[in-house]
């Protein structure tokens, strides 16, 4: 006779868990389209294309329309001014700059201020690129109480950018404004992502081109992509810090938001995408 509390499903403690496949079909993921071989950040919706020439180097900017409540914190003119401060030789790998509207699932699963991509396929336009994400006005987010040294530095940097950082019961609450998001994305994230491009250029592309044979070239490329992500992040962070410090001393940075309504209108860019009211 079985005990009254006996339950046959308890013979396997993995029944009803993800290890047995439970809930894997409805797990929150960023969807891929089987019909096209594109990463989610390559799928742009009706972007406006802006041809730029920075120090005689051609860059194409894509500006994606924003959803209600979101804005692009930096204007195209803001970004162009930063690019013009970058040394010419450090721009040669940048082909694309994208102001992108993230999807809801992406904000939940992979929230970022921006990203550097080694290769973006945007149809007619391809190459390495820098992305800056549109942000919801008044966004708040939390950080856990256990911070790595890297996290602690970033939290201090966010506070220095002007974000309000508040200690709460189980971590930290960060409150943003359009101005503080601009400070983070324009003065730190953009040069940080360009720092990734410079790292790729000086530690992979140039050495592999100068290699004496194909085997050595391939070894250099593989070694670069095998580098720990923390090493790559430290290179990009250092590049961003040095860029800001150098231009701060010259009293070039920071600078107020550059709003050229005629320029935006001529390019068919909606002023509301940048948090501006139509005049």
The answer to whether residue 45 is domain-embedded is yes
Whether 147 maps to a domain, the answer reads: no
pLDDT for 110: 67
Residue 100 counted as domain residue: yes
Weakest mean pLDDT among 19-23, 80-84, 173-177, 244-248: 19-23
| Band (186; pLDDT cuts 50, 70, 90) | very high
Whether the predicted pLDDT of 108 surpasses 90: no
Structural domain contains residue 233 = yes
Whether the pLDDT of residue 200 is over 70: the answer is yes
Domain count, the chain: 1
The whole-number pLDDT of residue 3 equals 46
Give me the percent of the chain exceeding a pLDDT of 70.
Answer: 86
> Quick check: is 191 in a domain?
yes
**Domain-embedded: residue 59:** yes
Model confidence, pTM: 0.86
pLDDT per residue over 16-71, tens digit each? 444 544 444 444 444 555 445 789 889 999 999 999 999 999 999 999 999 999 99
Q: Which long-range contacts (CB under 8 A, 24 or more apart) does 85-88 make?
A: 85/243, 85/247, 85/252, 85/253, 86/54, 86/191, 86/194, 86/243, 88/55, 88/56, 88/57
Its domain, for residue 195, covers: 40-139+176-274
In a domain, 32, yes or no: no
- The rounded mean pLDDT for the chain is 88
158 belongs to a structural domain: no
Contact 128, 118 (CB under 8 A): yes
Question: Is pLDDT above 90 for 167?
Answer: yes
- Residue 104's pLDDT is 83
The end-to-end CA distance of the chain, in Å, is 83
């Amino acid at each position: 006779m079985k005990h009254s509390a006996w339950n046959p499903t308890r013979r396997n403690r993995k029944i009803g868990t993800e290890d047995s496949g439970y809930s894997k079909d409805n797990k929150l993921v960023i969807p891929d389209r089987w019909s096209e071989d594109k990463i989610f950040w390559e799928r742009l919706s009706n972007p406006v294309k802006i041809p730029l020439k920075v120090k005689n180097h051609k860059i194409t900017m894509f500006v994606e329309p924003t959803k209600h409540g979101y804005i692009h914190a930096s204007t195209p003119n803001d970004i162009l001014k930063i690019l013009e401060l970058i040394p010419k030789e450090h721009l040669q790998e940048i082909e694309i700059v994208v102001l992108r509207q993230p999807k809801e699932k992406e904000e939940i699963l992979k929230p970022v201020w921006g990203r550097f991509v080694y290769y973006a396929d945007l149809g007619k336009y391809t190459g390495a690129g820098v992305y800056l994400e549109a942000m919801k006005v008044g966004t708040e987010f939390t950080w856990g109480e256990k911070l790595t040294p890297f996290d602690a530095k970033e939290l201090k940097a966010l506070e220095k950018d002007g974000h309000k950082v508040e200690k709460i019961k189980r971590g930290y609450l960060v409150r943003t404004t359009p101005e503080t998001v601009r400070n983070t994305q324009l003065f730190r994230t953009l040069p940080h992502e360009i720092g990734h491009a410079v790292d790729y250029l000086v530690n992979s592309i140039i050495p592999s081109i100068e290699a004496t044979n194909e085997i050595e070239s391939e070894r250099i490329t593989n070694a670069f992509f095998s580098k720990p992500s923390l090493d790559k992040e430290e290179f990009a962070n250092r590049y961003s810090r040095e860029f800001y410090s150098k231009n701060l001393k010259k009293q070039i940075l920071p600078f107020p938001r550059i709003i050229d309504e005629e320029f935006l209108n001529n390019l068919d860019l909606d002023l509301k995408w940048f948090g501006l009211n139509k005049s």
